[in-house]
Structure 1
Amino acid sequence: MYDMNHLKKLGTLGKNAEQAMKAFQQLDQTALADGVIPKKYKELIAIAVALTTQCPYCLEIHKKHAIDAGATQEELSEVTFVAAALRAGAAVVHGTHLMNN
């Protein structure tokens, strides 16, 4: 199912929902632009989210952008464990729903 070649179909998707696609692209560009939070950090955040949502497309795209923004292999490694800690933490706190008291 996951094939980076599917990204070539974004043009068709955008053509079929032009206004929504333009709005999404503007949001994406604005949210990830260099700002108070530097672009490199935004891309590392995007990678952590992509690891948590397990989106291979986002991982590939934001890994490239993070490296282009100066992210190191060590930073990519650390962000992996930040995402892992948050996923594990979510499982633990959701476990409280299983408790009687």
Structure 2
Amino acid sequence: MYDMNSLKKLGALGKNAEAGMKAFQALDEAALADGAIPKKYKELIALAVALTTQCPYCLEIHKKHAIEAGATPEELAETTFVAAALRAGAAVVHGTHLME
């Protein structure tokens, strides 16, 4: 199901929902642009989110952009464990709903 070649269909998606695609692209560009938070950190944040949501497309795209922005293998590894800690933490705190 997850094939990077599917991203070639984004043009068709945009053609069929032009306003939505343009709005998404503008948001994506603005959110990930260098700013108060440097681009490298934004891409590492994007990777942590992608690891948490388990989106293979986002992982590939943001890994590439993070490396281009200067992220090191060590930073990529630490980002993985930040995401893992947050996912585990969410399970733990949701466990409180099971307690009487």
What TM-score do the two structures reach when normalised by structure 2? 1.00
Length, aligned pairs only:
100
Deviation at 1:40, TM superposition (A): 0.1
Aligned to 1:59: 59
Aligned to 1:35: 35
CA RMSD across the alignment: 0.2
Tell me the distance in 2 between the aligned counterparts of 1:85 and 1:28. Answer: 26
Deviation at 1:88, TM superposition (A): 0.2
Deviation at 1:95, TM superposition (A): 0.1
- Structure 1 alignment gaps of length 5 or more: none
- Structure 1 residue ranges (4+ consecutive) displaced by more than 4 angstroms after TM superposition: none
Identical residues among aligned pairs (%): 86
Q: Secondary structure at the match of 2:36?
A: coil
What TM-score do the two structures reach when normalised by structure 1? 0.99
